[in-house]
Amino acid sequence: MPDTADLTLYLAAPRGFCAGVDRAIRIVEMALEKWGAPVFVRHEIVHNKFVVDALRAKGAVFVEELDECPPDRPVIFSAHGVPKSVPEAARAREMIYVDATCPLVSKVHIEAERHFEAGLQLVMIGHAGHPETVGTMGQLPPGEVLLVETEADVATLAPRDESRLAFITQTTLSVDDTAGIVAALQARFPAIIGPHKEDICYATTNRQAAVKAMAPEIDALLVIGAPNSSNSRRLVEVGQKAGCAYAQLVQRATDIDWRALQGARAIGITAGASAPEVLVNEVLDAFACRYNVTVKQVQTATENVEFKVPRVFREASA
Protein backbone atom coordinates (compact mmCIF):
# COMPACT_ATOMS: atom_id res chain seq x y z
CA MET A 1 0.00 0.00 0.00
CA PRO A 2 1.32 3.49 -0.75
CA ASP A 3 2.44 5.60 2.19
CA THR A 4 0.04 8.56 2.50
CA ALA A 5 1.97 10.22 5.31
CA ASP A 6 2.58 13.95 5.18
CA LEU A 7 5.90 14.94 3.63
CA THR A 8 7.51 18.33 3.14
CA LEU A 9 9.76 18.68 0.11
CA TYR A 10 12.28 21.51 0.25
CA LEU A 11 13.12 22.52 -3.31
CA ALA A 12 16.45 24.28 -3.80
CA ALA A 13 16.65 27.44 -5.88
CA PRO A 14 18.77 27.91 -7.87
CA ARG A 15 18.97 24.35 -9.20
CA GLY A 16 19.43 22.60 -12.53
CA PHE A 17 20.65 24.13 -15.79
CA CYS A 18 23.24 26.90 -15.64
CA ALA A 19 23.87 29.39 -18.45
CA GLY A 20 26.88 27.45 -19.78
CA VAL A 21 24.92 24.19 -20.05
CA ASP A 22 21.94 25.92 -21.63
CA ARG A 23 24.25 27.54 -24.20
CA ALA A 24 26.00 24.25 -25.02
CA ILE A 25 22.72 22.43 -25.67
CA ARG A 26 21.47 25.31 -27.85
CA ILE A 27 24.71 25.13 -29.84
CA VAL A 28 24.09 21.45 -30.72
CA GLU A 29 20.46 22.16 -31.62
CA MET A 30 21.42 25.17 -33.77
CA ALA A 31 24.17 23.16 -35.49
CA LEU A 32 21.60 20.50 -36.42
CA GLU A 33 19.33 23.21 -37.83
CA LYS A 34 22.16 24.85 -39.78
CA TRP A 35 23.97 21.80 -41.16
CA GLY A 36 21.48 18.96 -40.73
CA ALA A 37 22.18 15.55 -39.20
CA PRO A 38 24.55 14.10 -38.34
CA VAL A 39 26.47 16.61 -36.27
CA PHE A 40 29.31 15.11 -34.25
CA VAL A 41 30.01 16.05 -30.64
CA ARG A 42 33.36 15.30 -29.02
CA HIS A 43 32.56 13.99 -25.54
CA GLU A 44 29.12 14.31 -23.90
CA ILE A 45 28.06 17.92 -24.52
CA VAL A 46 27.09 18.07 -20.81
CA HIS A 47 27.13 15.31 -18.22
CA ASN A 48 23.52 14.16 -18.31
CA LYS A 49 22.23 10.99 -20.00
CA PHE A 50 18.71 12.37 -20.51
CA VAL A 51 20.06 15.44 -22.34
CA VAL A 52 22.55 13.43 -24.40
CA ASP A 53 19.89 10.86 -25.41
CA ALA A 54 17.49 13.66 -26.46
CA LEU A 55 20.16 15.25 -28.68
CA ARG A 56 21.14 11.86 -30.06
CA ALA A 57 17.51 11.34 -31.10
CA LYS A 58 17.70 14.63 -33.06
CA GLY A 59 20.81 13.53 -34.97
CA ALA A 60 23.82 14.29 -32.75
CA VAL A 61 26.54 11.63 -32.72
CA PHE A 62 28.69 11.53 -29.58
CA VAL A 63 32.31 10.40 -29.84
CA GLU A 64 35.26 10.43 -27.48
CA GLU A 65 37.97 11.55 -29.90
CA LEU A 66 38.22 13.70 -32.99
CA ASP A 67 39.54 10.88 -35.18
CA GLU A 68 36.12 9.18 -34.84
CA CYS A 69 34.55 12.08 -36.77
CA PRO A 70 34.42 12.19 -40.59
CA PRO A 71 36.20 15.30 -41.91
CA ASP A 72 33.16 16.43 -43.94
CA ARG A 73 30.73 16.81 -41.01
CA PRO A 74 30.67 19.53 -38.31
CA VAL A 75 32.01 18.72 -34.85
CA ILE A 76 31.20 20.45 -31.57
CA PHE A 77 33.48 20.53 -28.53
CA SER A 78 31.74 19.99 -25.19
CA ALA A 79 30.97 22.59 -22.52
CA HIS A 80 33.87 21.26 -20.40
CA GLY A 81 36.53 22.57 -22.77
CA VAL A 82 39.25 20.78 -24.73
CA PRO A 83 43.06 20.82 -24.89
CA LYS A 84 44.53 23.19 -27.51
CA SER A 85 45.61 20.15 -29.54
CA VAL A 86 41.95 19.33 -30.40
CA PRO A 87 41.02 22.49 -32.39
CA GLU A 88 44.52 22.38 -33.93
CA ALA A 89 43.81 18.85 -35.20
CA ALA A 90 40.38 19.93 -36.48
CA ARG A 91 41.96 22.81 -38.42
CA ALA A 92 44.59 20.47 -39.85
CA ARG A 93 41.78 18.24 -41.17
CA GLU A 94 39.93 21.34 -42.49
CA MET A 95 36.87 20.45 -40.41
CA ILE A 96 34.01 22.75 -39.48
CA TYR A 97 34.08 22.92 -35.70
CA VAL A 98 32.22 24.87 -33.03
CA ASP A 99 33.56 25.32 -29.52
CA ALA A 100 30.78 25.03 -26.90
CA THR A 101 33.19 25.51 -23.97
CA CYS A 102 31.44 27.34 -21.14
CA PRO A 103 32.66 30.97 -21.13
CA LEU A 104 33.52 30.62 -17.43
CA VAL A 105 35.82 27.69 -18.26
CA SER A 106 37.30 29.74 -21.12
CA LYS A 107 38.02 32.47 -18.55
CA VAL A 108 40.19 29.99 -16.61
CA HIS A 109 41.97 29.01 -19.86
CA ILE A 110 42.77 32.68 -20.57
CA GLU A 111 43.97 33.13 -17.00
CA ALA A 112 46.31 30.14 -17.34
CA GLU A 113 47.74 31.53 -20.58
CA ARG A 114 48.32 34.93 -18.99
CA HIS A 115 50.22 33.45 -16.05
CA PHE A 116 52.27 31.23 -18.39
CA GLU A 117 53.24 34.23 -20.53
CA ALA A 118 54.35 35.99 -17.34
CA GLY A 119 56.74 33.10 -16.66
CA LEU A 120 54.74 31.44 -13.89
CA GLN A 121 54.15 27.72 -13.41
CA LEU A 122 50.51 26.83 -12.71
CA VAL A 123 48.94 24.71 -9.98
CA MET A 124 45.47 23.47 -10.88
CA ILE A 125 43.01 22.40 -8.19
CA GLY A 126 40.82 19.81 -9.89
CA HIS A 127 39.89 16.17 -10.40
CA ALA A 128 42.32 14.04 -12.41
CA GLY A 129 40.78 12.78 -15.64
CA HIS A 130 37.75 15.08 -15.57
CA PRO A 131 37.26 16.59 -19.06
CA GLU A 132 37.44 20.14 -17.72
CA THR A 133 40.73 19.47 -15.94
CA VAL A 134 42.17 17.72 -19.02
CA GLY A 135 41.07 20.63 -21.21
CA THR A 136 42.48 23.31 -18.92
CA MET A 137 45.81 21.56 -18.38
CA GLY A 138 45.98 21.05 -22.14
CA GLN A 139 46.07 24.81 -22.75
CA LEU A 140 49.76 24.86 -21.81
CA PRO A 141 52.80 22.72 -22.64
CA PRO A 142 53.38 19.52 -20.59
CA GLY A 143 54.80 20.19 -17.13
CA GLU A 144 53.51 23.77 -16.96
CA VAL A 145 50.40 22.79 -14.94
CA LEU A 146 50.72 20.75 -11.73
CA LEU A 147 47.51 19.10 -10.50
CA VAL A 148 46.38 18.89 -6.88
CA GLU A 149 43.15 17.18 -5.76
CA THR A 150 43.49 17.38 -1.96
CA GLU A 151 45.24 19.36 0.76
CA ALA A 152 47.60 16.37 1.20
CA ASP A 153 48.71 16.73 -2.44
CA VAL A 154 50.03 20.23 -1.70
CA ALA A 155 52.77 18.81 0.53
CA THR A 156 54.21 16.70 -2.31
CA LEU A 157 54.25 19.40 -5.00
CA ALA A 158 57.66 19.94 -6.60
CA PRO A 159 57.49 23.18 -8.61
CA ARG A 160 60.39 24.59 -10.63
CA ASP A 161 60.52 27.76 -8.55
CA GLU A 162 58.43 28.19 -5.40
CA SER A 163 58.42 31.96 -5.86
CA ARG A 164 57.00 31.82 -9.42
CA LEU A 165 53.61 30.12 -9.04
CA ALA A 166 49.93 30.85 -9.69
CA PHE A 167 46.87 28.68 -9.09
CA ILE A 168 43.62 28.08 -10.95
CA THR A 169 40.69 25.78 -10.17
CA GLN A 170 38.15 23.58 -11.91
CA THR A 171 34.86 25.50 -11.99
CA THR A 172 32.68 22.76 -10.43
CA LEU A 173 34.45 22.00 -7.15
CA SER A 174 33.22 22.16 -3.56
CA VAL A 175 33.63 25.75 -2.40
CA ASP A 176 34.61 24.66 1.13
CA ASP A 177 37.04 21.90 0.09
CA THR A 178 38.73 24.23 -2.39
CA ALA A 179 39.15 26.90 0.28
CA GLY A 180 41.12 24.37 2.36
CA ILE A 181 43.40 23.52 -0.56
CA VAL A 182 43.95 27.21 -1.36
CA ALA A 183 44.88 27.85 2.28
CA ALA A 184 47.38 24.96 2.15
CA LEU A 185 48.91 26.35 -1.07
CA GLN A 186 49.22 29.83 0.40
CA ALA A 187 50.77 28.47 3.59
CA ARG A 188 53.41 26.49 1.69
CA PHE A 189 53.95 28.99 -1.14
CA PRO A 190 53.35 32.50 0.28
CA ALA A 191 54.12 34.15 -3.08
CA ILE A 192 51.55 32.10 -5.05
CA ILE A 193 49.17 34.23 -7.14
CA GLY A 194 45.44 33.48 -7.16
CA PRO A 195 42.68 34.38 -9.63
CA HIS A 196 41.39 37.97 -9.76
CA LYS A 197 37.92 36.51 -9.33
CA GLU A 198 37.23 33.03 -7.96
CA ASP A 199 37.32 30.32 -10.64
CA ILE A 200 34.50 28.24 -9.14
CA CYS A 201 31.51 29.35 -11.18
CA TYR A 202 28.49 31.23 -9.89
CA ALA A 203 26.17 28.27 -10.57
CA THR A 204 28.27 25.82 -8.56
CA THR A 205 28.52 28.28 -5.67
CA ASN A 206 24.79 29.10 -5.72
CA ARG A 207 23.64 25.47 -5.83
CA GLN A 208 25.91 24.55 -2.91
CA ALA A 209 24.64 27.55 -0.88
CA ALA A 210 21.01 26.45 -1.38
CA VAL A 211 21.81 22.94 -0.12
CA LYS A 212 23.52 24.37 2.96
CA ALA A 213 20.49 26.59 3.64
CA MET A 214 18.00 23.71 3.52
CA ALA A 215 20.20 21.15 5.34
CA PRO A 216 19.01 22.03 8.91
CA GLU A 217 15.38 21.50 7.86
CA ILE A 218 15.63 18.11 6.13
CA ASP A 219 16.03 14.43 7.03
CA ALA A 220 17.39 13.46 3.60
CA LEU A 221 18.70 15.05 0.41
CA LEU A 222 18.22 13.92 -3.18
CA VAL A 223 20.48 15.41 -5.85
CA ILE A 224 19.26 14.89 -9.41
CA GLY A 225 22.26 14.49 -11.68
CA ALA A 226 24.59 12.10 -13.45
CA PRO A 227 27.28 10.04 -11.68
CA ASN A 228 29.96 11.60 -13.95
CA SER A 229 28.77 15.14 -13.18
CA SER A 230 31.33 16.79 -10.90
CA ASN A 231 29.04 19.58 -9.69
CA SER A 232 26.23 17.09 -8.90
CA ARG A 233 28.52 14.86 -6.86
CA ARG A 234 29.81 17.89 -4.97
CA LEU A 235 26.19 18.74 -4.00
CA VAL A 236 25.86 15.31 -2.35
CA GLU A 237 29.10 15.92 -0.42
CA VAL A 238 27.98 19.41 0.62
CA GLY A 239 24.72 17.95 1.94
CA GLN A 240 26.55 15.28 3.92
CA LYS A 241 28.95 17.81 5.44
CA ALA A 242 26.04 20.12 6.30
CA GLY A 243 24.48 17.35 8.41
CA CYS A 244 22.17 15.37 6.08
CA ALA A 245 22.16 11.82 7.42
CA TYR A 246 21.12 10.56 3.98
CA ALA A 247 22.24 12.28 0.76
CA GLN A 248 21.86 10.46 -2.53
CA LEU A 249 22.58 11.14 -6.21
CA VAL A 250 19.77 9.97 -8.52
CA GLN A 251 19.67 10.25 -12.30
CA ARG A 252 15.86 10.26 -12.32
CA ALA A 253 12.79 9.18 -10.32
CA THR A 254 13.26 5.47 -11.08
CA ASP A 255 16.56 5.55 -9.13
CA ILE A 256 15.01 6.69 -5.82
CA ASP A 257 15.54 4.23 -2.96
CA TRP A 258 12.14 4.55 -1.30
CA ARG A 259 13.04 2.21 1.56
CA ALA A 260 15.96 4.43 2.54
CA LEU A 261 13.54 7.36 2.80
CA GLN A 262 11.01 5.62 5.07
CA GLY A 263 10.31 7.69 8.16
CA ALA A 264 11.62 10.91 6.62
CA ARG A 265 9.21 13.82 6.99
CA ALA A 266 11.27 16.50 5.26
CA ILE A 267 13.35 15.84 2.14
CA GLY A 268 15.49 18.30 0.19
CA ILE A 269 15.61 18.16 -3.60
CA THR A 270 18.11 19.86 -5.87
CA ALA A 271 19.58 19.28 -9.31
CA GLY A 272 23.08 19.61 -10.70
CA ALA A 273 23.86 22.25 -13.32
CA SER A 274 23.46 19.78 -16.22
CA ALA A 275 20.11 18.27 -15.07
CA PRO A 276 16.97 19.57 -16.84
CA GLU A 277 13.90 20.73 -14.90
CA VAL A 278 11.80 17.96 -16.48
CA LEU A 279 13.69 15.46 -14.28
CA VAL A 280 12.99 17.56 -11.17
CA ASN A 281 9.28 17.52 -12.03
CA GLU A 282 9.45 13.77 -12.56
CA VAL A 283 10.84 13.33 -9.03
CA LEU A 284 8.22 15.67 -7.53
CA ASP A 285 5.47 13.67 -9.26
CA ALA A 286 6.90 10.41 -7.91
CA PHE A 287 6.72 11.77 -4.35
CA ALA A 288 3.18 13.09 -4.93
CA CYS A 289 2.08 9.56 -5.84
CA ARG A 290 3.31 8.22 -2.48
CA TYR A 291 2.83 11.04 0.04
CA ASN A 292 0.68 14.02 0.91
CA VAL A 293 3.28 16.48 -0.32
CA THR A 294 3.86 20.10 0.63
CA VAL A 295 6.54 21.83 -1.46
CA LYS A 296 8.59 24.69 0.02
CA GLN A 297 11.12 26.55 -2.10
CA VAL A 298 14.45 27.51 -0.53
CA GLN A 299 15.75 30.43 -2.61
CA THR A 300 19.23 31.72 -1.81
CA ALA A 301 20.02 33.54 -5.07
CA THR A 302 18.48 34.71 -8.33
CA GLU A 303 20.28 33.86 -11.55
CA ASN A 304 19.87 35.90 -14.73
CA VAL A 305 23.12 35.04 -16.51
CA GLU A 306 22.92 34.38 -20.24
CA PHE A 307 25.79 33.61 -22.62
CA LYS A 308 25.72 34.36 -26.34
CA VAL A 309 26.04 31.51 -28.79
CA PRO A 310 29.06 31.59 -31.18
CA ARG A 311 29.06 34.13 -34.00
CA VAL A 312 28.48 31.47 -36.69
CA PHE A 313 24.92 31.05 -35.38
CA ARG A 314 24.27 34.72 -34.61
CA GLU A 315 25.13 35.55 -38.22
CA ALA A 316 22.74 32.86 -39.46
CA SER A 317 19.83 34.24 -37.43
CA ALA A 318 20.53 37.92 -38.20
User: With contact defined as beta carbons under 8 Å apart, do 176 and 153 qualify?
Assistant: no
Please give the single-letter amino acid code of residue 109: H
Which active-site residues does the annotation give? Answer: 132
From residue 298, give the alpha-carbon distance in Å to each of 218, 231, 264.
12, 19, 18
Contacts of 312 (CB under 8 A, 6+ apart): 34, 98
Decide: helix, strand or coil at residue 37: coil
Q: How far is CA 240 from CA 84, 124, 219, 283, in A?
A: 37, 25, 11, 20
Give CA torsion, residues 169, 174, 177, 180, to 10 deg. 50
Q: Torsion over CA of 308, 312, 314 and 318, rounded to 10 degrees?
A: 170
